[in-house]
Amino acid sequence: MTYRFQIFKKKQATCENAVNLREFSNISDANRSMIRSFLIGFLLLFSFSSYGQYSIKGKVTDAETGDPIAFANVILTGTTVGITTDFDGSFFIESKVIADSIKVSYLGYVTQSKALSKESTQTINFQLRPTAFELGTFVFEAGENPAFEIIRRASAKRKVFDKRELIAYETKNYTKIELDVDNLSESFMRRKSVQSVTSVLDSIRQLTNDEGEKILPVFFSETVSKFYYRNNPELRKEIIEKTKVTGVGITDGSTTSQITGSVFQEYNFYKNWLRILEKDFISPIADGWKTYYDYDLLDSVLVGQDTCYKLQVYPRREQDLAFTGTIWIKKDDYALKQVDLTIPKAANLNFVERIKIQQELAPTVEGPLLPSKTRVLIKIGQISESTAGLLAKFYTATDSAIINQPKPTAFFNQAVELKPDFSQYPADFWTSTRPELLSEEELAVLQMVDTLKKIPIVRFYSEGLKFFATGYLPIRKVDFGPWTEFGNYNNVEGFRFGFGLRSNYKFSNKWLLEGYGAYGLVDQRWKYKAAVTRILDRKRWTTLQVRTSRELDQVGLEMENLEGNSVFLAASRFGTLRRPFVSTNQRLTFQREFFKGFLLTSGLNVAQFDPLYNFYYREKDTQELRSNFQTTELRAGIRYGRDEVIIINDNVRASLGSNKWPIVELNYAQGIQSLGGQISYTKLNFYLYQRLTMGIFGVGRYELDAGKVWGEVPYPVLKNHLGNETLFYTTAAFNTMNFNEFASDQFISLRYRQSFEGFLLNSIPLIKKLKWRMVGSANVLMGSVRDENIQNVPAFDPFGNSLTSFGRLDPTKPYLELGYGVENVFRFFRVDFFHRMSYLDNPGAKPFHVKVSAQIIL
């Protein structure tokens, strides 16, 4: 392809031969009459021509999604009269030139033409169908691509225009979200549950015309918010002022409203990597742009008042997590003006057929750019032919920017805040607030969602899905669950059945009552938990909790750390329990968030250890053998996540992870011989977790865990390192270590996992079609046990039976395991190969392990 660089200048008509009125008055009457007749004839001709002018308006949308296609080329066939669609896909053409048809084209879509009538005013809408993007279409000749210098200069100015360079900014945002079920296959439509809503599905035709695809809308929201950003330290906050949420299965909008604002819809192309759906995508103007992208300089065009270079971008390897599409870069300062980019279906993603981002940017008074409009479309494909797909649409409009007036750090304590009257507004509020009116399709979506959520069968399935995902079924002021407590089976309890409930936000926003009861048919023991939590302050999260429980536990598993993961907790109680014991606890806990990300926890815990396996330890003072013991601990801990995003889910906090900085925890426990305690000791534990974006090498994650126990204690009080003798891979354990193989009273461990995404495998011709991804891991542990904690475990119980003991780490010899593998096998499976590098002489140790796991990842 030969590079062409064309600049089209806007022509301005001038009137250089205007009639001089003074000269006109000096000519003869005959000539004057002739000229007057000429002018009158000219005016009549001009009037006739004006009358013959006609106008065409319309909208260009995606046939599969109904989403507007911005910046598409619209031209009258056989003429040079044309225009591009605006951000909302609309166009308006006025012309005196007569044409038979009008044509619309855009990169990544099939070009479409429609016939024109003879009417002076016409409305012509287009629905374009996406077409596959073929990398082989573009071939470059020798010599540097002229687009490279433009990209080079735009990349060099990233810091100049990056909004993160501002000291602070705040904006008023309007956000609109729509979720639709699409790809409604015939097999899906034939289901009994679907046929019961056939009459509703038939009315979907009003959302599309004969050229479009049928969709079933299930969620629609509108949100007006204030967004605040502060640099150094980098903090964000969104205050939801007003929100309207309607959706299938949505019974309480308070939690949903916290994630429908713009804080989760931020797309900054001046960052090297954009995180979308927990995947990192390389920006077209990133530092390493030449490694990932090729470019084609298409034109120089006028966008608003700015002359811009129009460039086509596309990935060098179609499997890379990179964009294809068009970007516009201003000619005078090389700032981004607007983008229209897509992640193609060939990218190494699961289930995601398309991600499309359109964005317009506007300069601030200080120079950096803020997005004025952003539209995002995410299309999730069918998992199987008998299922449907999902379509998510996001739109954000930003205005009223205030620059460099930073709020105090304390203002950002809560990442997302709801105003007390966020769901109350006058009838005409949204009509007067929206940047633009809802389209006919969106009004139909609202009507459809309101209709669907009232249908009993739809409510049944939506509530059932939510029950499975959250574990709880809300019924008025009480939530029943979790369902994982309803039934289980293991070698100690036999069949176990139970029942639980908790109060919800409708009951009170200051009190949380929760509990469950369970019974085992074999051991004939009742297990239970009952807790009362008083929420003292929701803004600076402050709670006081009293709790009592009696439950089965296993040495080394520490089930209290698994309470946030009900599925894994249930799985740990299934099958064969190793070194089980009955744990009885009474606990008092106080929590307070003193400033953004800094949470302090303190309390008192009284616990009783009653083993269900052959266990004895030698009591320190009397040297008697005891099989059970009681501890009383004074506890204190701090947790700090500098940029961790926290939302309030009813009456509990939920973490959505951190963006850049690590999450740090430090916990202290002091065992005292009072209030029933029989052992004196001190425990200190440090934990650090961070997710690392590593560019071409994918994403890394590490966990650093270190601890120490002072005092002579039974080994269940020590750190019993979690092993994994099963066939299944888990990130929570050492995957080549046996159960209860090692215990330590001082230790440090580093666990590292690397997801290489498409690194290397995307370049192998046959393998890249499979979309496999390499993974790797390295786990290392150093630890030791003092002699007194070894000696307090006797070799035999009082009856002469051999006792179960524990392994001892050599403080000079690390435990090391290395792993590698492939994920995304048949889209659902992962296979890991682990090599145990040390302690190979231990009983039962195996040098090589194969682990498998099932996962749903994008």
pLDDT digits (tens, 9 = 90+) for 542-571: 999 999 999 999 998 877 666 655 556 666
Q: What is the pLDDT of residue 42?
A: 43
Residue 438 has pLDDT above 70, yes or no: yes
pLDDT band at 422, cuts 50/70/90?
confident
Question: Given the structure tokens 């100690």, which residue do they identify?
Answer: 492
Q: Provide the pLDDT confidence category of residue 262 given band limits of 50, 70 and 90.
A: low
Structure tokens that stand for 270 in this block: 């001046």
Q: What is the model's pTM?
A: 0.77
Q: What's the pLDDT band for 49 if we cut at 50, 70, 90?
A: very low
Cα(799)–Cα(804) distance, integer angstroms: 14
Q: What is the pLDDT, as a whole number, of residue 191?
A: 64
Q: 249: pLDDT confidence band, cut at 50, 70 and 90?
A: low
- CB of 85 within 8 A of CB of 67? no
* pLDDT of amino acid 22: 38
- Give the pLDDT of residue 783: 95
| Superfamily of domain 54-128 in the CATH hierarchy | Carboxypeptidase-like, regulatory domain (2.60.40.1120)
In the numeric block, the tokens 């640099």 are attached to 231
Confidence of residue 10 (pLDDT cuts 50, 70, 90): very low
pLDDT, tens digit (0-9, with 9 covering 90-100), for 763-799: 787 788 888 899 999 999 999 999 888 888 887 777 7
Contact, 338 vs 359, CB < 8 A?
yes
Beta bridge pairs of residue 297? 311
Average pLDDT over every residue of 496-525: 92
Q: Per-residue pLDDT tens for 362-402?
A: 999 999 999 999 999 888 877 666 667 788 889 999 988 99
* Higher local confidence (pLDDT), 344 or 20: 344
What are the angstrom distances between the C-alpha of 628 and each of 677, 681, 705, 721, 835? 12, 17, 28, 21, 38
Is the predicted pLDDT of residue 319 greater than 60, yes or no?
yes
Tell me what pLDDT residue 526 has. 95
User: How high does pLDDT run on average in the chain?
Assistant: 83
Burial class (CB in 10 A: 0-12, 13-18, 19+), 438: middle
CB 602, CB 552: distance < 8 Å: no
Q: In this model, does residue 136 exceed pLDDT 50?
A: no
Cα 368 from chain centroid?
Answer: 26
How sure is the predictor about 81, in pLDDT bands with cuts at 50, 70 and 90?
confident
Contact by Cβ (8 Å): 628, 609: yes
Q: What does the pLDDT look like over 167-208, one tens digit per residue?
A: 999 999 999 988 888 766 566 566 666 665 655 555 544 555
The single-letter DSSP state of residue 852 is: E
Q: What is the DSSP string of 172-224?
A: EEEEEEEEEEE---HHHHTSHHHHTTHHHHHGGGGGS-TTS---EEEEEEEEE
**Neighbouring-strand partners of residue 127:** 61
Tell me the pLDDT band of 212, cut-offs 50, 70 and 90: low
Residue 676: pLDDT over 60: yes
> Do 721 and 787 touch, CB atoms closer than 8 A?
no
Q: 445-454, 525-534, 566-575 — which is least confidently predicted?
A: 566-575
3-state secondary structure string, 669-736?
Answer: EEECCCCCCCCCEEEEEEEEEEEEECHHHCEEEEEEEEEEEECCCCHHHCEECCECCCCECCCCCECC
Question: What is the rounded (10 degree) CA torsion for 789, 795, 798, 799?
Answer: 160
Torsion 781-786-792-797 (CA) sign: positive
- How confident is the model over 613-659, as pLDDT tens digits? 999 988 887 888 889 999 999 999 999 998 888 877 788 888 878 87
- When pLDDT is cut at 50, 70 and 90, the band that residue 524 belongs to is very high
Which helix (H) or strand (E) segment is 33 a member of?
helix 29-51
pLDDT band per the 50, 70, 90 thresholds, residue 352: confident
Residue 31 confidence (pLDDT) above 70? no
Q: How many CB atoms lie within 10 A of CB 6?
A: 9
Token output for 723: 């092993």
> What are 739-755's pLDDT values in tens digits?
889 999 999 999 999 99
Asked whether residue 20 carries a pLDDT value surpassing 60, the answer given is: no
- The pLDDT assigned to 279 comes to 86
Asked if residue 137 has pLDDT above 80, the reply is: no
Q: Which two tokens stand for residue 681?
A: 């000791």
- Sign (positive or negative) of CA dihedral 730, 736, 741, 743: negative
Q: Where are the domains of the chain?
A: 54-128, 166-459, 680-858
Checking DSSP bridges between strand 580-595 and strand 598-611, what pairing results, if any? antiparallel
Characterize the bridge pairing of strands 629-641 and 625-626.
unpaired
Assess contact for 179 and 247: CB atoms under 8 A.
yes
Residue 299 pLDDT grade (very low, low, confident, very high; cuts 50, 70, 90)? confident
Whether residue 575 contacts residue 604, with contact meaning beta carbons closer than 8 Å, is answered with no
Residue 833 has pLDDT above 90, yes or no: yes
Structure tokens at 103: 């044509």
Lowest-confidence segment of 150-154, 445-449, 686-690 by average pLDDT:
445-449
Q: How far apart, in whole angstroms, are the C-alpha atoms of residue 477 and residue 458?
A: 22
Residue 207 vs residue 842, higher pLDDT: 842
By 3-state DSSP, what share of the chain in percent is helix, strand and coil, each rounded to 5?
15, 45, 40
With CA atoms as reference, report the closest residue to 714 among 555, 484, 481, 549.
555
Cα(71)–Cα(69) distance, integer angstroms: 7
What is the total residue count of the chain? 858
Q: Which of 142-146, 375-379, 422-426, 519-523 has the lowest mean pLDDT?
A: 142-146
The mean per-residue pLDDT over the stretch 488-498 comes to 92
DSSP annotation of 408 reads P
Condensed to tens digits (0 to 9), the pLDDT of residues 84-104 reads 888 888 898 888 877 888 999
- The least confident of 54-58, 111-115, 559-563, 709-713 is 559-563
The pLDDT, as a whole number, for residue 467 is 77
Question: How far apart are alpha carbons 155 and 148 in whole angstroms?
Answer: 10
- Residue 18, pLDDT above cutoff 70: no
3-class secondary-structure state, position 470? helix
- Tell me 409's DSSP state: G
